[in-house]
Amino acid sequence: MLQMLVTLLALVLASPPATCTYDTWTWSVVARRVVEHQHVSKPYAQVTEDEKASDWNVTGCTTCREDQERVAVSGLPPVLVCRHFAPRIREALEAALQAGARIETLVGYRVGRSGGPVVDGKRTRYGWHAFGEALDINSKSNGLYGNCKRNTAVPRSVAELGPCRLRVGGAWRPQAAPAQSLTADGAMVSAFRRVLGWRWGGERADSVKDLMHLSPDGY
């Protein structure tokens, strides 16, 4: 009887939710702002491939609010992340804090078309944040830089950023603010690499260095 109850409970927990709801937007590269705000609410069975993460077969992560779980860090409002990753994200954050990192701001699940090819002046694809598979940490100390040289080494100091231009967030000064800054061998990046295998946005090989960002591939 006990085994039957355990099996039934597992089936209930594994079954998909009835609905899929989320709020989304599109980034206009022409207007340089968010446009086309939209609220989506529909049966979960109607979730499209576009609304599923590329690793959905393993993780089950989608743009649906119902697939997200709250993660809290002491002193900060809870953030949402994909349920599949939530326990390990908590573990990585706690490990980083114990190793001396300081978390001042944290952003997780955020649905918006911010990547992919540009069509009619607008981005066309969802990034990792839209599926709850990314975190932006301490944006005021770890800005997003553009116009960087491609295929450059992972920066370890401001000088190694080269001619990059700060686009979003605050200037990255790891020597001046080591506890708040994300670096290749720092507490935060090391914890996420060890616990989840995630990569840092400073490791990107294109013309962007997203120094606040952690995700499965750093993009």
Amino acid at 177: A
Q: Phi and psi for 7 in degrees, rounded to 5?
A: -65, -45
pLDDT in tens, 59-80: 999 999 999 999 998 889 999 9
Q: Phi and psi for 131 in degrees, rounded to 5?
A: -105, 5
Structure tokens at 51: 């609304």
Report whether 65 contacts 80 (CB < 8 A): yes
The rounded distance, in Å, linking the Cα atoms of 53 and 120 is 24
pLDDT in tens, 189-204: 999 999 999 999 999 9
What is the predicted pLDDT for the residue at 25? 98
Report whether 106 contacts 84 (CB < 8 A): no
Report whether 62 contacts 46 (CB < 8 A): no
Sign of CA dihedral 154, 158, 159, 162: positive
The rounded distance, in Å, linking the Cα atoms of 120 and 204 is 26
The rounded distance, in Å, linking the Cα atoms of 50 and 130 is 11
Over 80: is that where the pLDDT of 172 sits?
Answer: yes
What is the predicted pLDDT for the residue at 162? 86
Over 70: is that where the pLDDT of 164 sits?
Answer: yes
What is the predicted pLDDT for the residue at 195? 98
Confidence tier at 11 by pLDDT (50, 70, 90): very low
pLDDT in tens, 129-149: 999 999 999 999 999 999 999
